[in-house]
Chains A and B, each alone.
Chain A
Amino acid sequence: MVDAPKQPYTGDEMMDNLIRMNTELMSELWVLRDRVTILEHMLQEKGAISRKAIDDFVPTGDLAKELVRERDGLVEKVVGGAWMQGFSVESLVAKAKK
């Protein structure tokens, strides 16, 4: 068993945890970006969709609405995550319905 470090490196356990979380997120972000880049490359190689077509594509209609919904949801989750505001079954159900 490799044990956890005896003391936090920054002097504050929560700060260590936050930095670890942040680094892990960066790792996940990179894994995804690596994958998307490969995906685009392979699609182009196979002649299915070119990278330029992806760059030039402007989402409209339902797709545009879906992206707005997803983006706002992400901002709310991440930025809003810093403020604990209390919650109830109702508030959570309302959130799910948004």
Chain B
Amino acid sequence: MTNASLPESPITPFKTVSLAQRGRAGMEFLGSLQSFVAGTVRQRARADFNADPEGAALAQNWAQRNEPWSERIAKAKAVAERSTTYRYDRLMQRYVAEEVYTKGIPATEARRAEAEAFYAIPIKPAGGSLELDPSIPIPKYHSETEWHLMPGGWDGYDLYGITMGSGVGPLVFVRGGFAAVEAGDDLRQQRIDVAKQFPKKSYGRIYEPGCGGFGTLAAVHKVFPEAELVGSDLSPHLLRQGHMGAERMGIKVDFKQRDARDTKEPSNSVDGVIMYALQHEMPIDVNIDTLKEALRILKPGGDLVMSDPPPFAAVHPLQAVVLDWDTEHRGEPFFTVTREVEWADVMKELGFVNVEAYTIGAQGYPYIVRGSKPA
């Protein structure tokens, strides 16, 4: 197989392996289903919630209630579950979350030969690097979780790059409507909008801990083409995918296998740090240590931009119930605990200055917390 014989991908600017008809159409169906359920059906569930006197009362003073979050969520959940529409919405969310793998992996297997040929195509080097470090301790929370119901977790299947890059990403997630992402949201544009939250006009060196692949750094490159990019993650599979993607796109990025708490970068060495969808995949103590590490490697006056689903306090109670649901039902063990915290306060305590928290989306997502290291 040559590069020229490969189809254009709707999400990557380079050609890639496409799924065969059954796999493709099956995944596209899931995209339509999820988008409809999260849009239309969820709106009805929300109307049911607001029509319930207890629900209306909760929505009135949701952020100010003097109760622990667990109690508030339990009350809102009881109201939500009185609606058959809400319960149907949840079943369908769960169904799609399972099916993206139960359909996606067989669809990928059907293309194994093409995928292996694709990976063997030589790439014109862009000058980036990939540094894997097998000596790094991998925390148990990371290796033992089947994130998002993904069998085996991030590194559980050698062709997850195809499952995600040719299937779930361009055919399902592209329609939005899962976790904090609203139906119809444009994920790629959202990453660009988040990168635009860096307050300066130009940056020398930008670091992304927990970069996974190349999704967010590609957005950063779009906004700050001059910036030198470094990304790190625990997952060798994602780092390999990221490196390959960046090189194919001709963008120089250094990828390193690192724990976000211990980047091994010199102190005061980067101008910007971006964290995208990282916080909710780490326990609280790991998050705090990661923020400390970001503060250490930032140059004085350097900026941190963080984007993750909004805290419970910043959304409608039904949306809080929906976010909380991911913890138990979509392989997100830290979704709830990390949504209970106001991270802007934590950053101030740790010594960040000019700390701000705000949303740049209609329903509270994408949610931004940003701050700087004192000059």
Q: Are B26 and A31 in contact (CB under 8 A)?
A: yes
Binds A, one of B89-97, B196-204, B248-256, B310-318: B89-97
CA A30 to CA B26, docked complex, whole Å: 7
Interface residues on A, range: 10 to 19
Find chain A residues with CB under 8 A from B33 CB.
23, 26
Q: Is the interface of A mostly helix, strand, loop or mixed?
A: helix
The segment out of A4-12, A45-53, A59-67, A84-92 that lies at the interface is: A4-12
Establish whether residues A16 and B98, one from each chain, have CB atoms under 8 Å apart when the complex forms. Answer: no
Q: Tell me whether A27 and B146 are in contact (CB under 8 A).
A: no
Residue of A nearest to B329 (CB): A5
Q: When chains A and B are docked, how far (Å) is the Cα of A11 from the Cα of B83?
A: 11
Chain B nearest CB from A87 CB (Å) reads 32
* Interface majority SS (helix, strand, loop, mixed), chain B: helix
B: number of interface residues (CB 8 Å): 27
CB contacts (< 8 Å) of B28 on chain A: these are 30, 34
Interface centre among A9, A20, A30 (most CB of B within 10 A): A9
Q: Are B25 and A9 in contact (CB under 8 A)?
A: no
Question: Given that A2-B98, A2-B151, A5-B329 are known contacts, is A27 also in contact with B90, CB under 8 Å in the complex?
Answer: no
Kindly identify which residue among A10, A19, A23, A30 contacts B25, using a CB–CB cutoff of 8 Å: A30
A67 → chain B closest CB, angstroms: 25
A11 touches B25 (CB 8 A): no
What is the 8 Å Cβ interface bit string for chain B, positions 150-166, against chain A (1 contact, 0 not)? Answer: 11000000000000000
Contact A5 B94 (CB under 8 A): yes
Task: Look across to chain B and name the residue whose beta carbon is closest to the beta carbon of A31.
Answer: B25
B189 within 8 A of A: no
Contact B94 A27 (CB under 8 A): no
Which residues does A use to contact B, with CB under 8 Å?
A: 1-2, 5, 9-11, 16, 19-20, 23, 26-27, 30-31, 34-35, 38
* Cross-chain pairs A/B with CB under 8 angstroms, 5 sampled: A1-B151, A2-B146, A9-B94, A16-B91, A26-B29
- Interface residues, chain B, CB within 8 Å of chain A? 21-22, 24-26, 28-30, 33, 84, 87-88, 90-92, 94-95, 98-99, 101, 103, 146, 149-151, 329, 331
What 6 A-B pairs are tightest by C-beta distance, nearest first?
Answer: A9-B91, A34-B25, A30-B29, A31-B25, A9-B90, A27-B29
